[in-house]
Amino acid sequence: MTNTAKTSANDMWGGRFAEGPDAIMTAINASIGFDQRLYAQDIAGSRAHAAMLAAQGILTDNDAKAIGEGLLTVLSEIEAGGFDFRTDREDIHMNVEARLTEIIGEPGKRLHTARSRNDQVAVDFRLWVRDQCDAAIAGLEALMRAFLAQAEAGADWVMPGFTHLQTAQPVTWGHHMMAYVEMFARDRSRFQDARRRMNECPLGAAALAGTSFPIDRHMTAAALGFDRPTANSLDSVSDRDFALEFLAASSICAMHLSRFAEELVIWSSAQFRFVRLSDKWTTGSSIMPQKKNPDAAELLRAKLGRILGATVALFTVMKGLALTYSKDMQEDKEQTFDAADTLMLGLAAMTGMVSDMTANRAALKSAAASGFSTATDLADWLVRRLGLPFREAHHVTGTLVAMAEKAAIDLPDLTLAQMQSVHGGITAEVFEVLGVENSVASRQSYGGTSPVRVAEQIARWKAALA
């Protein structure tokens, strides 16, 4: 990359400025170091713009043809790695246009007719974020399928359900996996919604007020795959809601990814042994040979915080800006680029870990039966069979839990005589509800953990993702 400290005249600003920018100003002002990632979108927007100008008689067909072919040459140079991105040309727009003019001469100078860098960057960035929404949606669907496969494999495997990270009630492995399918489905819908809202084309808004040239904004919008052109030129060049929505959706998705990363860290520990992560997603210790650390999950848990930071950063940039475009908005891209990269890395890594992990059915079942996990089943039985008010049933159950705890046994290990010493109406039938399999099988309300309900949800989501 060339770094020009000063130039004798500023080619971009023409006669208004006699000298080029100081080196420090160049460093502050230039964005080509990061916005070169928009090259494909910038060239696509310029080709659509040139074709429209020719259709409207603003450019000759020959000039438009030369521009279109020249832009494809620039595209091939960039993709081949031979393009010289120059800092003195500030950004991707001027780098592409300057190189185009070097290739085709005078017609290249006509490309910028009836547009501004304000609407140009707005369309480039919107196209890029739209592509990232599509990538996130595809990544989420792959992750959902990985969770579905785990759910289907262990739809009826019992495990403890937790509140406060304390054993609460037995659930099934399939039910727990399907909880994440629901979470990531909501994330997918947020990206889909954001994509629909952002699918309007700002090209043609020019600097801020529109243009006096007889352009056809519907033509360029259609050529670039947008539903329609944006309706207000002031809003068109100053809007970054599309990036904020992408970042907000990414932040919620990152939070979900981080929650499961936390579960993997806990579950893979020697104290839990719920899952085993393969060597692909773990590392060893330099001093403790027995260690198998869930480093991939830990790194994801940390890296995903960058997305939240990017979201806050762009909100902070935008909150103080009056209409319309301000140079502050150049700071929108690095944050969004980093967040998108981090999100896609997180989705890919989590899909790999979920696909590759092995659940320890025996450890899950053993843990499900501990911690008085069927206490609620006992209380419910007292209500159903003996007609006790729930609060009284709760008290009786709590007394029995205390009795079992004092004896260092679990609820099913109490004798019938011990139970009847607390409430004489209890019968041997109570032991049927104290087994963890019976507990999960009884939870047949819609959305419950019963294997029957879990199988229904698995089938529903497999069909939806087919």
Residues annotated catalytic, as ranges: 164, 285
Strands (E), 188-287: 200-201, 228-229, 275-276
Q: Note whether 96 and 74 are within 8 A (CB).
A: yes
Helix (H) or strand (E) holding 398: helix 390-406
Count of all residues that appear for the chain in the document: 466
Q: Note whether 451 and 172 are within 8 A (CB).
A: yes
DSSP characters over 415-459: -HHHHHHH-TT--GGGGGTSSHHHHHHH--STT-S-HHHHHHHHH
Handedness of CA 411, 414, 420, 422 (dihedral sign): negative
Q: How far is CA 293 from CA 107, 165, 441, in A?
A: 60, 21, 35
Q: Tokens in use for 258?
A: 């981080």
| β-bridge pairing 200-201 and 228-229 | parallel
Q: Residue 11 has what DSSP assignment?
A: T
Phi, psi dihedral angles at 293 (to 5 degrees): -90, 135
Rounded distance, CA 330 to CA 39, Å?
16
Strands (E), 13-165: 158-163
Look-up of token digits 């040459």? 73
Which value, to the nearest 10 degrees, does the dihedral of the CA atoms of residues 43, 45, 51, 54 take?
Answer: -100
Q: Name the percent of the chain in helix, strand, coil, to the closest 5.
A: 65, 5, 30
Q: Note whether 30 and 12 are within 8 A (CB).
A: no
Q: Note whether 368 and 170 are within 8 A (CB).
A: yes
What is residue 181's three-state secondary structure? Answer: helix
Q: Tokens in use for 5?
A: 């400290």
DSSP characters over 296-313: HHHHHHHHTHHHHHHHHH
